[in-house]
Amino acid sequence: MAPREGAEIRIELGDAASVLDRSAADERAALIVVGTHGRGRLASALVGSTSARLAALGSRPVVVVPQASHSEVQATPPRVSLGQL
């Protein structure tokens, strides 16, 4: 998949939260937006949560967007903006 105009693909090794935080600092980002798998508290406690570790670093605000359930995705009609056609 090619990046959209103004975007870049970056591949780095390391702890995901630390790499994301460092990349956001390098880019002077005002905030970080990440998705979550919605595993639940028990699974997150056992496996760990990248979004929680990222927020705990506290270098900038983090917005966590929950993953939509399968039924939510199917129930949501597609949005079309006539101004973009």
Residue 20 lies in a domain: yes
Phi, psi of 55 (to 5 degrees): -65, -35
Domains: count for the chain: 1
Section 27-53 average pLDDT: 75
Residue 60 lies in a domain: yes
Q: Identify the residue with better confidence: 46 or 33.
A: 33
pLDDT classification of 85: cutoffs 50, 70, 90: very low
Residue 24 lies in a domain: yes
Residue 49 lies in a domain: yes
Residue 32 tokens, joined:
């970080």
Residue 10 lies in a domain: no
Residue 79 lies in a domain: no
pLDDT classification of 28: cutoffs 50, 70, 90: very high
What 3-state DSSP class applies to 60? coil
Q: Where in the sequence is the domain holding 55, given as residue range(s)?
A: 16-67
What 3-state DSSP class applies to 10? coil
pLDDT classification of 13: cutoffs 50, 70, 90: very high
